[in-house]
Amino acid sequence: QKEVEQNSGPLSVPEGAIASLNCTYSDRGSQSFFWYRQYSGKSPELIMFIYSNGDKEDGRFTAQLNKASQYVSLLIRDSQPSDSATYLCAVRVNYQLIWGAGTKLIIKP
Partner 1 sequence: EAEVAQSPRYKITEKSQAVAFWCDPISGHATLYWYRQILGQGPELLVQFQDESVVDDSQLPKDRFSAERLKGVDSTLKIQPAELGDSAMYLCASSSRLLAGGQDTQYFGPGTRLTVL
Q: Tell me the closest approach of the beta carbon of residue 27 to partner 1, in angstroms.
A: 11
Q: Tell me the closest approach of the beta carbon of residue 52 to partner 1, in angstroms.
A: 10
- The site for partner 1 (CB under 8 A) is made up of 4, 8, 31-32, 34, 41-46, 49, 51, 88, 90, 92-97, 99-102
**Residue closer to partner 1, measured from CB, 17 or 101:** 101
**Residue closer to partner 1, measured from CB, 16 or 58:** 58
Give the sign of the dihedral formed by CA 47, CA 102, CA 72, CA 11. Answer: positive
